[in-house]
Amino acid sequence: MVPSSFTLLVGVAVVTCLFMAWVLGANSNSPPFAPAIGANAISTMRAAFVVGLLAAAGALVQGGSISETIGTDLIDGVTITPLAATAGLLTAATFMAIGIYTRYPIPAAFATTGAIIGAGLALGGDPAFEMYRRLGTFWLLVPIMSGGLAYATATLLRRDDVPEAVGVPLLAGLVGVILANVRLGVVPDPAGEQGTLSGFVARQFGGGPTLVAGVDLGTVLVTAAIGVLAFYLVRRRVLASVEGGIRSFLLILGGIVAFSSGGSQVGLATGPLEHLFRIQLGLPGTALLALGAAGILAGAWMAAPRLLQATSREYAQLGVRRSIAALVPGFVIAQLAIALGIPISLNNIILSGVVGGGLAAGSAGISRRKVGVTVTFWLLTLGSSTVVGYGVYHLLAAVVGG
C-alpha cells in the first residue's frame, strides 16, 4: 500500500471512530439520567447537556482499560489494522444507529465486540476463547446483579420501618466509599498506574501500616471519612426537605453514573485504533481518548434526548426511590467492569436496574413487550454483528484492493 493510500485509510478510520463515539454519546451514555427524567427530577434537554460533559470527562480519565481490551485482547495472532478497525466500527455504529431509530437501545458492548471479532477473523486472526469466556460470564451476571440489587434497594427504601433520613444517606455513604477508590487518570500513583483519591490523600500523611492485600491504614481511614461525609451531607439535605434531598441525591447519582459510562464506553470507539495510534503513529493514549471524548460529547448533545425519552418513559414509570435503586447498581457494576477491563453495555445495566426497581412495586409499570423485544435485540446483536463485521471487512478489502 502506497503512503498516500495509508494516509487516506487512517483518515477514514479516525472519522469512523468519531462517528462511533458520536453514536455512543447518543445511545449508550443516555441511560444514566433516564431514571432522573422518569422521576421528573430534571428536564430531558438539561440532562442531555450534563450527560455530554460528564461522559466526556469520564472517557478522558477512565477509558484506557476498556480501550486496550477492545484493541488487543479480542483476537489472537494479528493486530487490528486501520481497515479492520474501520470495518468493525462501521458495523457497530450502524447497529446502534438502528437502535436509535427504532428506539430499542442496542447494547454497544455486544455490537462492538462482535464486529471487531468478525473483522479480526476476516483479517486472519484466531479466536481468543479465554477472553470470550470472561466476557460471557460477566455479561450473564450483569442483569442478575443489577436487577437483583435494584430490587433489594427499592424494597428497602419503600419500607415504612426504615426512615428515609437513614436509608438514603446510607446509600450515599456507600457510593462515597466506592468513589473514593475509583482509579482516575488525573490522580498520580507511585506505581505509575491510575491512582485513587483515598490513596492519594493517605500518602500525604504517610499512609500508615499495611493491613491486607497491600492496603494501608491511611487509605482505609480516608475511605471511611469520605463515606461518612457523603452520609452527613445527604442526611442534612433530606432532613431539610425529604423530597428535595432525595431528588438532589438522584441527580448526583445520575451524574456519577454518566461519568462512569463515559469511562466504560469510550474504549468501544477508540479500542480498534489502539495499535494505529500508539505503535504506528507514536501518539499518546490520551490523544486517542480525547478523540473519543469529543465524539461522545457531540453525540450526547445532538441526539441523546430521543433515547432519554424512550428509556425513561417507556420501560417503567419510576419514582425517585426506585430511580435511585436503578442507578446504584449501575455505578457499582460500571466501575467494576472498568477495573477489570471488561466492555459492558450501560443499556443492559440501567435497564435491568429499571426493571428490578419497577418490580419492587409490582409489574404494573413495566412494559413486558418492550423488555422482551429489547432482550431479543441483545441476543441477536452479538452473533449478527460478528457475521456482518466479517463481511464488511472483505467488502472494504476488495474495494481498497481494486
Least confident of 49-53, 128-132, 351-355, 373-377: 373-377
- How do residues 247-287 score in pLDDT, each as one tens digit? 889 889 989 988 998 998 899 999 999 888 888 888 887 89
Question: Is 35 or 240 the better-scoring residue by pLDDT?
Answer: 240
Task: Using alpha carbons only, give the angle 393, 398, 401 rounded to the nearest 5 degrees.
Answer: 120
pLDDT value of position 371? 67
Least confident of 75-84, 206-215, 367-376: 367-376
Question: Is 278 or 191 the better-scoring residue by pLDDT?
Answer: 278
Which residues on neighbouring strands pair with residue 126, listed in sequence order? 76
pLDDT value of position 48? 84
- How do residues 56-114 score in pLDDT, each as one tens digit? 999 998 888 898 899 889 999 999 988 999 999 999 888 877 876 776 667 888 899 99
- Are the C-beta atoms of residues 285 and 341 closer than 8 Å to each other? no
Question: Is 190 or 69 the better-scoring residue by pLDDT?
Answer: 69
- How do residues 143-182 score in pLDDT, each as one tens digit? 888 888 888 888 878 777 778 888 889 999 999 999 999 9
Residues 6 or more apart whose CB falls under 8 angstroms from that of 186 comprise 61
Listed by start position, the domains of the chain span 3-401
Question: Is 392 or 156 the better-scoring residue by pLDDT?
Answer: 392
Q: What is the pTM of this model?
A: 0.85
- How do residues 102-133 score in pLDDT, each as one tens digit? 766 678 888 999 999 999 999 999 999 999 99
Average pLDDT of the segment spanning 2-31 = 80
